Structure 1
Amino acid sequence: MKKWVPTVLVVLVLIGGWVYAANQNYFREEEAEKVKLLGIQSEDIQSITIHDPRTDTTEAEASPSSSAQLELKDGVWSMVEPKAYPLNGYTISSWLEALSGADQELVVEETPTDLEKYGLGSNATRLDIKLKDNRTITLTIGGQLPADDARYVQVDSGPVVAVQSETIGNMELTRRDLLDTTPFNLDETNVTSLEWEGEAATWMLKSAAEDGATERTWTLNGEPIESTDAVSLIGKIKNLSTADDVRKASELEDTVPRFTLSVEQTVNGETVTDVYRGLTLSSEPDLIYVITPDGQWAYALQADTLQDAENFPDTLKASDTSTEDKGEDSTSSAE
C-alpha cells in the first residue's frame, strides 16, 4: 500500500493544479477584442453628408431618400442640404451612437484591388463624416457577404471589412429616415385640452385632475367620457405621419382652410398652447397640409386620415350606442 502513496499524491497534485488552472481561465481561448469601425465618439462628429447613388438623379431633391447634408451648430443638428428640413432628434441621436459604436467583425481583404466585387464601387452608399478636429472619414457600405449575416464595408481607402447587417441597418439611414414626419407635437401625459374647429364638426376635449384622484377625468363638449377614449384620440393624432417630404408653408398658394386644432399642454408647470392649421389646395383635394404652430412647415396628410379626429364625437356616440344595444340584447336573452 505504501508504494502507491507517492503515485496518489502526484495524481492529487495534478488534479488540484488542473482545477486551479481551470478556475483561472487558463484553458479558455481569449475572446478576440472587438475593433471599432471608425474609432470615434459620437460627440466628435461635426457634420455628415449622405451620398446615395440609388437616388442621386437630376430629380433627387424630390426623392424622399436622396442625398443630404447634416450639420451640428450651437449644439443642435440641422439639415442644410437639400433643404433645412426638420429632423427627428431621437433618430439623429441613435444614428450617431450607431456610427460611433459599430464594430468590425473581420478583415476580408487587407489591400483590395477590386471594390466592385464587394459592392463598394460607384453604386455604394457613402457617408462623409467630418469631425470637430477637421478630419474627414469616408464610410462606404457595400453588399452582403455570401455566407454570413454581414455586409462589406470600407473606411477611407483601408481594408474591406465585415460588419453585422443589423449594425449596418442602424447606420445606413436615408434622408427620409432622419426627417421629423409627424406634425403634431403632443404628449399624452401633458395634454389638458384639444379644441377642433372644422368644416364637419367642432368639439372640445378637456381634462381635469381631481384632488386625490389617481386618474384624470375627461369631458367631450362638457360630457364625461372614458379616459381610455381620450388618450386613444390623442395618441392617434400624435402618430399621424406624412408619407412625403415636408414643404415650406410659404410655398403653398391659394389654400382653403379646413380646420384648426388648438392644443393646450402643461410643460414644466407652465401652460403652453399651440395652434395647428389644416389647409387644402384646389389641385390636391385629397391632401390636407398641416401647418406647424410656428408657421414654417407644411405636412401633407391624406384627408381621410384626419376624419377620425374630426368625427370623434360621432364615432364615440356610435360606439356607446352599440355597447348599450349589446347590453339590452344580453338582458333580453337572460329573461
Structure 2
Amino acid sequence: MRRLAPTLILVVLCVAAWLYARSQNYFQEKEETLAKLADPGDKEVTAVEVRSADGEVALEKNDGTWQMTKPSRLPVDPSAVEAWISSFRDVAPLSVVEANPADIAKYGLKDAKYELSVGLADGSGKELRIGDELPTGGAYYVMAGGDPKVYKVRSVFVDPLKKTAFDFMAKKAVEYDAAKLKTFRLTWKGETYTMVKSDPARMAHESDWKLNGRTISGADADGVLAKLGGLETNELVRPASEVRLTDPELLIELTNAESDGKETQAVYRGQIDGEVVRIVADGGAWAYAVPVANVQAVADALKEKLTASPSPSAEPSPAASPAVSPSPAGT
C-alpha cells in the first residue's frame, strides 16, 4: 500500500490539474473576435434596400420621414424601418469560412438569397449578401461589400433582416392618441356605442368614461381602446379610390382635445368585403383590410362593458342607474 501512495498522489494531482485547465477553457479553441460587418457608425441612414426572390423593397428618408419607393409608395411604419436598421448595424460574424474564395457560388452567394444595403447621408453605403444556410443549421454564409471573405453569421443576426414590403408597411387601420382622445363612437351592424372621457385632461386609463351614459372605469375603457388600436390589415393596403363607401357598414368617429383647447375629429368608414372590412379614413389615401371578426370584437367589448354588472367604483349608486342599451344607429 505504501508503494502505491506516491502513485495515487500523482494521479490526484494530475486530475486536479486537468479539472483546473478545463475550467479555464485551455482545451477549447478560442473564437476570433471579429468586427461587425456593416456598421455605419454614427452616420445617418437615409436609404434602405432589400432584394430577394420576393422582389425589391426600397425606402428613402426625406425631411425626417421614411417613404417606400419600391414596389410602390405604400404607407411606412417608421419603427419597423428603424428596427431593421438596428439589426443591420449589429450583424457580427462568428468566424471566417474562407478568406479569398475562388467560387462563391458554393456558398449560395453568387446569386444571393438576400442582397441588403443602406445608403448614408454622406453618399456612402454599406452592403451585405446573404447566402445559403450552413448544413448544420443555425447560421448563414454572408459577405460584406468590398470584403472578399465569406463569413459564418448566426441566424439570430440574419433572420430579422429578411423582410418584405408588408413587413415595413404601416398596418394600423385606426390611429388614436390616448392622451388626447375625448370621445370614441362606433357604429356597426345597426348599433351605436359612444364613449366619452369624464376628465379630458387625463390619459384614457386614468379617467372614468361614460359609455352610452353609463359610467365605466378607465381600465375597462382602456381594454376597449386596445382592441380598437389592434385593428390592423392582414394584407397589402389598396388605394382608397378602389373601395366603394356609398353605404358604409362601419363608422368610427374619434374626437381629440388638443392642447390649445380646440377639438379635432378623425372619421373612419368601412365596407364589408368577404371576410374583411376595408377601412378608409376620411381624406385618407389607403384602404386597410381588417378581419370582420376583429371589428366585431370591438363591438362585443363595448356591449360587454355596457351590460356588465357595475363595479362600486364605476357606479356608486347602481340602484339609481337603469340598464342602458346600445343606441340604434343614427340616433
Query: In which range does the TM-score fall when normalised by the shorter chain?
Result: 0.7 to 0.9
Q: 1:143 aligns with which of 132, 141, 163?
A: 132
Secondary structure in 2 matching 1:83: coil
Q: Is the 8 A contact 2:45 2:118 kept in 1?
A: yes
2:48 aligned partner: 48
2:196 aligned partner: 206
1:169 aligned partner: 159
Q: Is the 8 A contact 1:42 1:97 kept in 2?
A: no
Q: 1:188 aligns with which of 178, 182, 198?
A: 178
Q: 1:277 aligns with which of 266, 269, 273?
A: 269
1:159 aligned partner: 149
Q: Is the 8 A contact 1:188 1:235 kept in 2?
A: no
Q: 2:289 aligns with which of 289, 293, 300?
A: 300
- Of the structure 1 ranges 265-274 and 34-43, higher mean CA displacement relative to structure 2 is found in 265-274
- Cα distance in 1, alignment partners of residues 42 and 50 from structure 2: 17
How far is the alpha carbon of 1:231 from its aligned partner? Answer: 0.7
Divergent runs of 4+, >6 A: 210-214
- Of the structure 1 ranges 146-155 and 222-231, higher mean CA displacement relative to structure 2 is found in 146-155
Q: 1:80 aligns with which of 51, 69, 82?
A: 69
How many residues align? The count is: 280
Q: Cα distance 1:290–1:126, how it changes in 2: closer, same or farther (>3 A)?
A: same
How far is the alpha carbon of 1:277 from its aligned partner? Answer: 1.3
Pair 1:116-2:108 in alignment: no
Question: Could you say what the CA RMSD is over the residues aligned between the two structures, in angstroms?
Answer: 3.1
Encode CA deviations 1:207-229: one digit per residue, 9 max, x unaligned.
12299999311110111123222
Q: Cα distance 1:116–1:268, how it changes in 2: closer, same or farther (>3 A)?
A: farther
Alignment gaps of 5+ in structure 2: 1-25, 311-331
Identity %: 24
Q: Cα distance 1:84–1:101, how it changes in 2: closer, same or farther (>3 A)?
A: same
Secondary structure in 2 matching 1:104: coil
- Cα distance in 1, alignment partners of residues 308 and 260 from structure 2: 35
2:250 aligned partner: 259
2:187 aligned partner: 197
- Cα distance in 2, alignment partners of residues 132 and 212 from structure 1: 41
Alignment gaps of 5+ in structure 1: 1-26, 57-66, 322-335
Secondary structure in 2 matching 1:300: strand
2:7 aligned partner: none
Pair 1:106-2:98 in alignment: no
- Cα distance in 2, alignment partners of residues 212 and 234 from structure 1: 15
In the superposition, the TM-score normalised over structure 1's length comes to 0.73
